[in-house]
Structure 1
């Protein structure tokens, strides 16, 4: 950009009363930078010795060159405009790159003024110019470094969020001008958090650097890569506008991350989940394309990790619904929209009730929301700790209220999520619920899935042993549907196995399911554990469980989960009875 020069008064003064030639040249040599007297066509009428040294040219070369020839080709039009403007508008300023020694470039801030001697005219083809240039190369290089740092990830050296967003904006513009459509791929390193938490951030950072280099090695020179933050990377892949075109690159990426990482003396294993969105099908802005790739990535994780998922419009609808539900959940807590229902756990022969399982329900104004929808959301946004703590306290208080009626003697079973169980305050929360309600600890059964126990077996054992001192008992929920590692059954202080409903459901028609249920019941018997069959809905299922020695059953055959008042009414009417021998 050509700018008016702030040297106008000084140059005008010099034009009006030029000092003696010897003194003038001495002053010019002291100024440094570029000092020259130039014709309108760029020929040098005079150039200081200091300028020759700066630009690394001989005087013989300069005598046959022009200023325009020494200017970087992309900056020549800017310099020509400055010369033209100086003739009509007065002194000008511009920043250009001059060739130094024909092999290098130096950034110069030039000030240009038409030279008008006291005698003679100005303008036209005979116009000449005073050019003074300040070397700002160091400033420009520092500016470039700072600009690079602004778009560079400090850990991996790849681009950062700002960089990849700008890449997407430019690639969209290129596509609109006739260039290829493209894909945005968002990769998340499966298992990275566990490595980072257990081995420290230094190991985690090195792992991120190594993973970034592996990703770069698998993509093309025309592709772009960045680290978004955490363990997420984003790739922009021009020309990949459908899943088939993407297949080869994705296969290479999955394979590259799956190979072991050697970090110090540690051999680490990771996989990656990849979500993809395509331009223009899935968005016409950087924000939308990244958002949709991120949503697809979480679907890849939900489907078992180490794979690819491509965004669909249905997925967008699901995420909008999930977002609405998540927002409503915060209000629901304040409005008291959550409640507990209680499902009886019965003796399979007498059908008398031994205990109940507390199950959370949500009834907003627009209608009930299934636990299958809101529980995963609560686990994802952290509300499960708040909701789980409330459920535990409310269930214990309800048990205490029943003790003051003819329903005394029941036990209460409460589900515990992985986040709850591994939260540092969980043992004290259980202790407080027991203390505030006054119920005996052995009448509280905490239901925990196999995956919760196996996530960190050492820590799990410590928590179970601590709670065992309060008398609390523990049941493995959905037994057989998870890890089913028999080693932990003798390692942890468990009291019951709950047979997953999927096995109970098909017992009458599936020999395999009957065999599994029989084996689980035999295992429980040999280990001195009680067994509870979930999802019992028919008399045929019930009889099969009785024949195999099942201790307890739970399901719609006896009763669905009911609010406390309706459950009390069922006992009062005689439809349900408390097990006297329990």
Structure 2
């Protein structure tokens, strides 16, 4: 009773909450008084409806439930309680004046744990309540253990348990069995060390000693499968003395795929995908070291810029695929043209002592060769002669046509023509332009006479300024469609110049605009024209619809450009949801912190961000997880041979997988054939762009193009 000392059983009961449900206030008072003296916290309800309304507030550990009540009887209340997952296993003891087998069986059938007839013997009910609570606790513990075992067994991590004294394997999960290739029976009695490759096994003793001292440690281990193959893992080793015997627990992740992706991303970041040659980034890294060594040893270096003559004509007449094949053939010939002992730059890990020649593709049909360790400029001339002769050998084109390519080459010499690699590349490019102007299929050294070329550049700059003043520019729109070709989902704005001498394309004036800073004024015009066109198309555009604008590296982190965008979108609030700004990788990686803030400000306006020409040059890729980027545009160089080159298809597939993992959308550029479209569409949902769909169209023609697709 309330004044009696608490028994051990009562102390146990002190943590439990009981809900008593009965339409008889007297019965509830007796239940509350008796079980409160037993240490329970008791809540009461005079009806089933009240009990169900308050049950989550009360959160009972056990329920006393009368059967015969007005309105909702105890059977219905019990059934409703069992429908709530939280109370699926809560003990329910039925109290009733009914004394028949049918009522008892019905109570048990709907989830009651016990059946007690009225009048109630409270001391007996107390024992039955404690028994029900203990049984429920055992059930809960067992279910928790079963659930934990299922989680462990289904974990993608490999989990191995082995004895601390003998290292004999005691248990393992399904992931471990699957990756190791053993059955559970085969692993019985095996030693953990037997699963390790030689190097890992030799250091196991010291490793386990560290784990004993610190309870757990992170390690990298090489495991050996049943078939003898070895794979790398990273994970944690735990030590526990709570078991008998004491055990170690290894929780390991197979890092084979991650290492493969890292190696692939490293290759994409440093090597040209089409040719396998070093890209600009890798060449720049190595060239800095070459120039430093040349300075120490008093030698000269030469930068040779090479551009193929007439490749655009081949692309226009025979198609880009033929042009790409010629670029790969030229790459192979350049590699063969080097002297014995010279090296084509393919592996960043090679030491400087072996670098006599470096060869890289800069993009398009341009190649750069860096020569080091020579004292006479005639050495560079001899290399140039040999390269031009090698390139001029006839190539086999489709339909049995033989064609001889030529190339123009410009050469700048360190330290005569410049003190750093960027200047040497610029001056080699100037000399190459002079070689082209002089008739092609030749080389030219940079001299001060090339400065006269500046006059023509100044003239072009003047014409650019006039063109901006006279509104000679216009936008064309290249459609973006879904990979099923069912709907237009957007367009890319492409700039055209209505020059008095004829229509000019961006590659003829954008580089100079970048150099002179006029790109900022051009960029403002493009943004304003695009927003204006969106307003003009307001009733015609499908939803969703993305209008992509190329943003120059000079505009990145430019507050004036950001403010101009903010003003335009404030006046045209509906345009922001359509705008996508395309930025190159190289424009993002400089001053990452400032870039991130600038992009976040753009995102706050509703504008989305895409990476243009993904993977073509500065693919550090770490920026993808640091910057608010929503879309990757896979460059056409990755797509051009996807229907013939399995490795190229694998790279595109890897980019798809990476984009999906980062929850990014994919736009595939340069889709020229049905076969290419089918391959990229099979890789997953994406947006495609290219001549198979349409060339860039003036605004009126683009409006007609949209009308050809369902809304």
What TM-score does the superposition give when structure 1 sets the normalisation length? 0.48
Greater RCO (CA < 8 Å, at least 6 residues apart) = 1
What TM-score does the superposition give when structure 2 sets the normalisation length? 0.39
